[in-house]
Amino acid sequence: MATYDFLFDNLGLRAWCDAGKTGDGPLSMADLLAKANGPKEASIWDLPFPSLDALNDACGRVAQSRDLTKGVENAFLAVKNPLQFVLDPITQPLSWILEFALYTFDVTPWWLMFPILMLVVFLASRSFRMVGLVVACLGFLALIDHYDYAMQTLAIIFVCAFLCVLMGVPIGIAMSRSNTLQRLTIPVLDMLQTLPAFVYLIPLIFLFSVTEPKLYGIAIILYAIVPVIRLTDLGIRLVDEEVIEASDSFGMTDRQKLFGVQIPLALPNIMAGVNQTIMMSLAMVVIASLVSAPGLGVLVLRGIRNLELGVGLVSGLGIVLLAIILDRVTKAALNRINAAQKN
C-alpha cells in the first residue's frame, strides 16, 4: 500500500488509475531496497513529499520523475538531427580556424615565436618590463619542456578570444541602443555565466563529434563571450551625456557618433571586458581538455586520471604563468587607454 492511495480513493479516481495501469515498469533501486527490507510501519515521520514517484506508487497513471529526464533526452535527440544539419556547416569554419591556429603555432619554431610574441606584447603595453615578464614566463615553460603545450593553449585562447570580441562588441553595441534587446539579452547572459562549465559540454558532445575542434571552440566562446558583451553595453551607456549631446548638436550622423565618440569613450570598459574574456577562455580551455582540447589542460587531466601529482601541479603552474602574462599584458594596454582618456 502506498502512502497517497487515500488521495486517489477519495477523489474517486481509483478505477481510472487501475485502468491505466500498464504493469510495473523497471524497478528503481529504491523500490528494490524497499522490497528487500519488507514493509515498514507507517509513521508521520516517514511521510514522503507528494512527489511524482510517491504519487506513482499510489496511481500508475501519474508519470514517474525519471520520465522527465527521459523526456528531455528524447526531446533533445528529436531536435538533434535538424540542429546538427544547421549548426554543423555554420560552425565548420571554427574548426578550420582552430586547426589552422594550432598548426601555425606548432610549426613556428620557438626562435621565431619568441620575437613575434615580444613584439605583440610591446605594441599592446609599450613597456619593456612587460616584455621581460613574458620572456621570463615563456622561457621557464620552454625550459621544463611545456612549451608545445603552452603554445597549443595560447593558440586556442587567441582564436576564441578574438572571435568573442568580434561577435561580442557588436552585440554589446546593439544592446546599448535598444532597451528591449538589453532586457531580452541579459537573462541569456546570466544563464551563460551561471551555468556550470561542464554543463555546456553535455549537449555539445551530442551535437558534434568529440574529435572536432569546434566542439571545445563553441564551449569556450559561449562561456567567455559574456563579459565583453556586458562591458561594451555598459561602457557605451556610461558615455557622458553632455558629450553625446554635443555630438548631436554638431550634426554628427549616428555612424560618426558611434565610431568617433561612443566606442572610443567606451574603450576602457570594452578593454576591461576583453581582459575578462581572455581570462575566462583560459579557465574554460582547461576544462575543455575533457573533450579533446589540446594544451596544458591535457596534462592537468593526466595528473588527475593517473594520480600523477607532479605532472598535474607543474602544468597547473604553467596555466597560472599563462594567466599572469595574459592578464598583465591586457591590463597594461587598458591602462594606456585610460591614461589617454583621463578627464
- How many residues bind to another protein according to rule CB under 8 A? 21
Q: Which is nearer to another protein, 50 or 260 (CB)?
A: 260
- Give dist(CA 56, CA 212) in Å, integer: 43
Question: What's the Cα-to-Cα distance from 314 to each of 28, 155, 184, 303, 310, rounded to whole Å?
Answer: 44, 20, 43, 10, 6
Question: Is position 305 an interface residue for another protein (rule: CB under 8 A)?
Answer: no
Binding mask 262-291 for another protein (x = CB under 8 A): --xx-x------------------------
Residue with cell 568580434: 166
The nearest distance, CB 337 to another protein, in angstroms, is 8
166-185 residues labelled b (16+ CB within 10 A) or e (exposed): eebbebbbebbeeeeebeeb
- Burial of residue 27 (CB within 10 Å: 0-12, 13-18, 19+) is exposed
DSSP secondary-structure letter at 285?
Answer: H
Residue 284 burial (C-beta neighbours within 10 Å; 0-12, 13-18, 19+) = buried
Nearer to another protein, 255 or 305 (CB): 255
Identified binder of another protein from the candidate list 75, 77, 243, 313, rule CB under 8 A:
243
259 in contact with another protein (CB under 8 A): no
Q: Is there binding between residue 255 and another protein (CB under 8 A)?
A: no
Question: Does 245 help bind another protein (rule: CB under 8 A)?
Answer: yes
Q: Could you say which residues in the range 314-343 bind another protein, by CB under 8 A? A: 340-343
Q: Phi then psi for 204, rounded to 5 degrees? A: -65, -35
- DSSP state string for 295-313: SHHHHHHHHHHTT-HHHHH
Residue 56 or 247: the one with the smaller Cβ distance to another protein is: 247
Mark residues 201-240: x for contact with another protein by CB under 8 A, - for none. ---------------------------------------x
Which residues form the interface with another protein (CB under 8 A)?
240, 242-243, 245-246, 248-253, 256, 260-261, 264-265, 267, 340-343
